[in-house]
Structure 1
Amino acid sequence: MRFGQQLKDSLIRDYYYYYIDYQGLKDLLDARGADGEWSEESEEAFVKALEEELEKVYDFQKLRTYSINQRVKEMDVKVQDAIRSIDTSSPLSEQAFEDLEFDLEEILSDVHDLAKFTQLNYTGFQKIIKKHDKVTHWILRPIFAARLNAKPFFKDDYDPLVVKLSKLYDLVRTRGNPVQGDSSAGGGQQNFVRQTTKYWVHPDNITELKLLILKHLPVLVFNASKEFEKEDSAISSIYYDNADLELYRGRLEKSEGAEAVRLRWYGGMSTDTVFVERKTHREDWTGEKSVKARFSLKEKNVNAFLRGDYTVDQAFKKMREDGKKSPKEIEDLEQLAREVQYSVLTRKLKPVVRSFYNRTAFQLPGDARVRISLDTELTMVREDDFDGRRRAGNNWRRMDIGIDWPFNQLPDKDVERFPYAVLEVKLQTQMGQEPPQWVRDLVASHLVEAVPKFSKFIHGTATLLPSKVKLIPYWFPQMDVDIRKPISHQFGIERPNNLTSSLSNSDDILSSNSGDITMDEEEALAHNGDGSSASAQRHGGDNYEEEHHDYVSDDEDAEHIPLMGISRDRSRSRSRRTAQFHNFNETVRQIGQTMRSWTESLIFEAERPVPGTSTVPAIEERVFHAPPGKLIHIPVRIEPKVYFANERTFLNWLEIGIYLSAISGSLRAFGNERAAYASFFFMITAVLMVFYSIGLYLWRLRAIRLRRAIRYDDQIGTGFMCGAFVLSVLVNYVIQVW
């Protein structure tokens, strides 16, 4: 889809006067002089119009940001007053808390809309500058980049706002009784087992995803006594490996017992505490689970510890004296420290790759059953000295960078800026217990792309050390594929159709069930330069569409569809305050849901393909090839029972061959002359079957050991051998009869 059409389809009605006039700027590019050349006057007119558009977008974005921040401050006062009233003689009613929750949902929707507005306009400026440089051959990109940096409307960080909204939402949702507990990473556990699933998130969907999650889980704040700062979310890790990349290969192939050793710290480079972590992979057939274990060191002692000069007894002497942990816990930590130190010294492990990202974690404090983390601004940086350049010197990490993303001071060969955010869903549920429904809805939505077993360490090593890596992860060749998807179902942050605009006259608002734009709005859009006669209504989620997807979003009854996301419906805001009207509204909604379910069942039944017809749409297939000199590693799960199954199959074939050879011998020894001829065919079939079973067994055994991602079932041999057996029986019958 072209950007101009995408802009028209994604316009938020409240904001459409303030979007970049993309069509108007395009018209200026098409307006050449009489000789068809781009003149200096044309360039001046274009630059002036571009500056005006930048000023308009920047001013509006700052105004909306200020307005949202003021509303958050007002909501903070209201929520605190409501919480204090609980312990008084006249506490707020349940309806008052519902109204507070609804007001917070409105703010969440405004934050979402502003983030989408910002992203879309920034893309628009990038597109029009690229088009200008291509069409006119006058290079404007470097100059306008400086202007964008002077008015950085696209650089606003919404994380502090998300943290504040999360705190308020949690207070209102729990009616002033938020879950209490240890907010430290991992709780009080040093060794913990979790089921972790990883997803990629496109930058366009990051803010929406955060706002959706905080409706169900609060943002995990490690230090609630201080104001949130950007540095608080920064996490840096140094992954260690040797010159043979032994740990990289083990983690990529998921070998039993494969380890990853890393040193991690939270916050800036001045942080005094460093965590030494070891991840150990365990195959399922062992009956154990993969475990991450860690212990802490003071930064000043890290180098000495890695050299072996700082002993384990010295490292844990103070911990034993404090007595805050049990002797058993300290012994386990000491054993872990000895194993890590021994591994570093014997394997000659050195710093190889650093990963940096800003993490937003969602979790009930002290409750690790559901933990969701979103890592943004993910960057991998080289730390090795394999090419002769001592990046870290004799230190355990390089010191020429900190947490100053995007690390523009580094050469391109030393840095990999990952294009997506990484979502991790970690569950500690009981055996057989299903995750919450909202989590299942989230991971099945268009906002995320599942990437099982994704690893920052593996990706960084494969990207930054191409000359030393031959085996690459399966996701590596797909990095240039756009992961944005069309909305498959009603999910996300929605603004219902009957919203009363705060920025435009109520007479100009679209009808709640209308998909067409009014004449007044059409003229307004024409003045804005888009000349759009299509709907300016924004569909929920507003995802960028891929060029090969054509779809229509059915919003006609959107307000009746049960959503997991955030919705804005001012028709509820004041009139809903009476319980009678609320019950009536709820009854109507339930009737609407029942009617729609019945209707959809008929539609799905009618659209179900008839056997023998080809009504199923074709599935688009992509074939990915490894770069020259590389091999793609496909994760293949191998358990001991696979070897046993291969042996059983071989023995079954061998048993059949023995039976056939016995039949052949019996016919030869006890039969007549004709039977002796028939026995020859049985013997040939038995020999073929034995040799075939041996060859198949050895081929499968080698493929299993190499973890090859191939078909292991026998597609031809079984039918061939059965045919040979039937042919032998027929030959025997024919010889005996004739």
Structure 2
Amino acid sequence: MKFGQQLQDSLIRDYYYYYIDYEGLKDVLDSGRPDEEWTEESEETFVRALEEELEKVYDFQKLRTYSINQRVKEMDGKVQDAIRSIDTSSPLSEQAFEDLELDLEEILSDVHDLAKFTQLNYTGFQKIIKKHDKVTKWILKPIFAARLNAKPFFKDDYGNLVVKLSKLYDLVRTRGNPVKGDSSAGGSQQNFVRQTTKYWVHADNITELKLLILKHLPVLVFNASKEFEKEDSAISSIYFDNDSLDLYRGRLEKSEGAEAIRLRWYGGMATDVVFVERKTHREDWTGEKSVKARFSLKEKNVNAFLKGEYTVDRAFKKMREDGKKPLKEIDDLEQLAREVQYTVLTKKLKPVVRSFYNRTAFQLPGDARVRISLDSELSMIREDDFDGRKRAGNNWRRMDIGVDWPFNQLADADIERFPYAVLEVKLQTQMGQEPPQWVRDLVASHLVEAVPKFSKFIHGVATMLPKRVKLIPFWMPQMDVDIRKPVTHQFSIERPTNGSSSVVNSDDLLSSNSGDMDEEYSLDHNGDTHDYASDDDDEVAENIPLMGIRRSGRRPWSTQDQFNETIHQLGSTVRSWARAFFLEPDASSPQPAVLERVFHAPPGKLIHVPVRIEPKVYFANERTFLSWLEIGIFLSAVAGSLHSFGDSRAQNASFFFVCTAVVMVTYSLGLYLWRVRAIRHRRAIRYDDRIGTSIVCFTFVMSVLVNYVIQVL
């Protein structure tokens, strides 16, 4: 599908006249070159039309943002009045609170629609500029990029709105009794034991995902006494390693006891408190859980601590004197600090890579059973001096950048701007409780792409230091694969009422005055509401999924329709059984896409695939070898008996049993040694024996047949 058609299929009724006139701009391109030549006058006409479209989109986006902000402010007043009325003689009714919740859901839908509007228009400008430069050979892209930055309708991430809406939604949902507790993302905890799964989120889906989550969990605000600012969500971490990148390799291979050491701070560069954190990987078979432990230092003492000049006793002297924490906890922190300082000094660790991102966390304060965080604007930045350039000087971090993403002052070789946001779902399930249904719906939706064991540290080192690493993570070859999937409306923003901001195409708009009629949302045969766009020419939508729902005037099913569908399903079932019985492959059955993709490592690199090896795997290999050996010994005993107590014919037949036993024992020994080596190196290969067993059994059968023939003849 071409982008122009995708744009028409994704229009929102209220916004119809404010989208980029993509087809009109294409007509200007075509009309300006009747003789296949593009003149300066043609360029001026096109640029003028382009500027008008940009002005129209920018003004509308600004107006809608202002309108939504005003509505949120108005809702804030209504919610506060409703909360105050609870303790009066005439409290608000339950229905009134439900109405407030519906109003908030309407605002959520408007924010969602506006985010999709800006994303689609931004794509439209990028597409028409690309087409202009290709067709006319006049390069407009860098010039118009400056115009886009002057009218940045696409740069609003709606972070402030999300925080405000989350607070209001939480107040209304809890009827003025929001959960109280420590909001410090761990608070007094120093050790975190959680079940964590990670996902990638495409930029098109970030706002929608935030709006969906806040309906179930409030945004975690660390300092509710001040107005939320963008800098409040910034998190920066400096990861340490040595010249050999031992920590990188250990974390990538998931070696038992592998460590990651980082220094982390929240907010801007003026933050005085720095957290020293250590992550330790534990294999499941040890009975222990991987754990993250940390302690805090004053920023002014970090350099001295890393050099060993600032001792642990000095670092915790004031904490002991204050007596605000139990002595046992202080002792544990001191032990952690000593171990970290010892590791830094003995392994000669130094800053290697920095990660930066803005985090939106969702969690009930003081309740860590479900914690969801979304890290956007993720960037990895070099901090090392491997190439002889001292980026940080003698300091523990470079000071030429702060939290001013996208860090345009840095050279491309010093920064990797990650294309996706990273969603982390953290659950405390040690007590056997199941995750909520909405969490399961979230991770199964089209909004996320599961990437198990994704690590910012590993990705940063593998990307920024390609000449120093040979082993790369499994997700690296997949970075060019589009992660967007067909929309599933089982988990998406939906309006509580039949508002006018429905998604329509141009034909719907022209016929909208013909009267209201009952309509159903149309799903295709896969249960999806759209198809992917193809990538055939310059006008293609580049696999951008259609936003919203296409509407259809389809009639309800009759009894005959239901009967026909039942017969069709019965026939399909019978055909499937027949294929299975005759072992015929079912060409119509869709195969998992992951099995069809073959990724190759770049030249000189190896892809590391996570393979979990437990002690029982070694024991299973040994048991298999001993079982084969037992059969070989049995055959040898049979051959010895035939040779010792049989006649000449039996002695001749025993020769074949001896050969079979030797082949069996030799093969099983070779297979055992091969498996031991593969297990030790954690190779992601097939460990089952698909051919050897058949050959050995065939040899045994042939030996029996030969023995029978000799005896008969």
Q: Classify 1:391/1:283 alpha carbon distance in 2 versus 1 (closer, same or farther; 3 Å).
A: same
Cα distance 1:635–1:727, how it changes in 2: closer, same or farther (>3 A)? same
Partner of 2:373: 373
The 1:542/1:19 distance shift into structure 2, 3 A limit, reads farther
Q: 1:71 to 1:488 in 2, by over 3 A?
A: closer
Equivalent residue for 2:48?
Answer: 48
Task: Report if the CA contact (8 A) 1:482-1:546 is conserved.
Answer: no
1:732 and 1:624 map into 2 onto residues whose CA distance is 51
Q: 1:577: which partner in 2?
A: none
State the match for 1:342 in structure 2.
342
CA distance in 2, matches of 1:601, 1:455: 48
How far the C-alpha of 1:734 sits from its partner, in A, is 1.6
Q: What's the counterpart of residue 86 of structure 2?
A: 86
Q: Secondary structure at the match of 1:155?
A: coil
Code of the aligned partner of 2:532:
E
- Equivalent in the alignment of 1:351: 351
Who is 1:610 aligned against? 576
Partner of 1:318: 318
| SS of structure 1 residue aligned to 2:371 | strand
Quote the residue 1:649 is aligned against: 624
Identify the residue that residue 145 of structure 1 maps to in structure 2.
145
Report the counterpart of residue 510 of structure 2 in structure 1.
Answer: 519
| 1:120-135 matched pairs, under 5 angstroms | 120-135=120-135
Deviation at 1:392, TM superposition (A): 1.0
Of the three residues 687, 690, 701, the one matched with 2:662 is 687
Decide whether the 8 Å contact of 2:199 with 2:423 is kept in 1.
yes
Amino acid across the alignment from 2:669: I
SS at match of 1:222: coil
Q: What's the CA shift for 1:10?
A: 1.3
Q: Residue 458 of structure 2 aligns to which amino acid in structure 1?
A: I
In structure 1, distance between residues paired with 2:116 and 2:201: 15
8 A contact 2:351–2:384 mirrored in 1:
yes
Match of 1:424 in 2: 424
User: 1:526 maps to what in 2?
Assistant: none
Q: Which one-letter code corresponds to 1:547 in the other structure?
A: S
**Aligned counterpart, 1:547:** 534
SS at match of 1:197: strand
8 Å contact kept, 1:496–1:558: no
How many angstroms apart in 2 are the aligned matches of 1:74 and 1:606? 58
Question: Which residue number corresponds to residue 112 of structure 1?
Answer: 112
Q: 2:66, 2:336 → 1: CA distance?
A: 50
Following the alignment from structure 2 to structure 1, what is the Cα–Cα distance between the partners of residues 236 and 315? 22
Q: CA deviation at 1:498?
A: 3.5
Contact 1:9 1:538 in 2 (8 A): no
For the 8 Å contact 1:237–1:354, the answer to whether it is kept is yes
**What TM-score do the two structures reach when normalised by structure 1?**
0.88
Q: Which residue of 1 aligns with 2:651?
A: 676
Is residue 102–residue 496 contact of structure 2 (8 Å, CA) maintained in 1? no
Q: CA deviation at 1:617?
A: 3.7
Provide the C-alpha distance between the structure 2 equivalents of 1:460 and 1:443, rounded to a whole number of angstroms.
Answer: 25
User: What's the counterpart of residue 364 of structure 1?
Assistant: 364
- Asked if residue 701 in structure 1 is aligned to residue 676 in structure 2, the reply is yes
Q: Which runs of 5+ in 1 are unaligned?
A: 502-508, 524-534, 560-590
Aligned partner of 1:201 in structure 2 is 201
CA spacing shift, 1:270–1:106, aligned 2, 3 Å: same
Q: Indicate whether 1:251 and 2:242 are aligned.
A: no
Cα 1:5–1:677 change in 2 (3 A) is same
1:17 aligns with 2:4: no
CA distance in 1, matches of 2:22, 2:513: 16
Aligned Cα root-mean-square deviation (Å): 2.9
Match of 1:713 in 2: 688
- The 3-state SS of whatever aligns with 1:363 is strand
* Deviation by residue 1:563-605 (Cα, 9 ceiling, x = unmatched): xxxxxxxxxxxxxxxxxxxxxxxxxxxx99xxx9999998866
Q: 2:350·2:384 contact (CA, 8 Å) conserved in 1?
A: yes
8 Å Cα contact 1:446/1:485 also seen in 2: yes
Deviation at 1:33, TM superposition (A): 4.5
Deviation of residue 547 (structure 1)?
2.5
Listed as ranges, the matches of 1:223-242 within 5 Å are: 223-242=223-242
The one-character-per-residue Cα deviations of 1:407-452 (angstroms, maximum 9, x if unpaired) are 1111111000000000000000244322100000000000000000
Matched letter for residue 8 of structure 2: K
Task: Number of aligned residue pairs: give it.
Answer: 684
Instruction: Give the 3-state SS of the residue equivalent to 1:499 in structure 2.
Output: coil
Letter in 1 for 2:612: R
Q: Which residue of 1 aligns with 2:539?
A: none
Aligned position for 1:394: 394
Conserved? CA contact 1:353–1:380, under 8 Å: yes
The answer on whether the counterparts of 1:9 and 1:537 sit within 8 Å (CA) in structure 2 is: no
Please state how far the C-alpha of 1:727 moved relative to its aligned partner: 1.3
Aligned equivalents of 2:339, 2:452: Cα separation in 1? 29
TM-score for both structures, normalised by structure 2: 0.91
Query: Where does residue 404 of structure 1 map in the other structure?
Result: 404
Aligned pairs (5 A) from 1:626-645: 626-645=601-620
User: Residue 260 of structure 1 contacts residue 279 of structure 1 at CA under 8 Å; is this kept in 2?
Assistant: yes
Q: Deviations over 1:667-689 (max 9, x none)?
A: 11111111100110111101111
Query: How far off is 1:520 after superposition?
Result: 4.6
Distance 2:550 2:151 in 1: 36
CA contact (8 A) 1:664 1:682 kept: yes
3-state SS, counterpart of residue 357 of structure 1: strand
Cα displacement (A) at 1:48: 1.1
Alpha carbons 1:10, 1:538 under 8 Å: kept: no
